[in-house]
Structure 1
Amino acid sequence: MISSYSKKGNPWDNACIESFHALIKREWLNRKKINDYEEAYQMVFEYIEGFYNTVRIHSHCNYQSPNNYEKNYNSNKLN
């Protein structure tokens, strides 16, 4: 495996993570005042674990939240 980094100022090499960074800033971080590193860490954790991976709708989940998608998937699998 060879690690690869894009050149400075070239976000197209890492489009997925650049998109996520824009999303977390727009939906979460820009709405609150961050006082220190610990507070920023906690806010990012809350966003990812408490909202993004559970409640927020995603296009790849047919515009459902991951929780609802998983629930529907499991109930359809049992039928």
Structure 2
Amino acid sequence: MAKYSDIGTAFTRAVKTDPKRGLIVTTNDFVRELEKLNHHWSLAQANAWIERYQGFFRDYTPHHGDDRSYFMKNMGRIL
């Protein structure tokens, strides 16, 4: 059974380290981690959650679409 508290855990697991950008997360990785915890979200739902609850992450996607990439701003943290 899916629990609301698992969403933050899935986000934390989806965060990766990039040598140029620091901590990054893609919407696909976040949705994949959510699936492991029985949350079935679309890419649009995942983007909306990231934009609302993870204010220290900034979108740097070079294209239009729902598969976005975010990086953590300076001195940010995962909420």
TM-score scaled by length of structure 1? 0.30
Q: Greater share of helix residues, 1 or 2? A: 1
Q: Greater share of strand residues, 1 or 2? A: 2
Larger Rg, first or second structure (1 or 2): 1
Which structure ranks higher in relative contact order (CA pairs < 8 Å, sequence separation ≥ 6)? 2
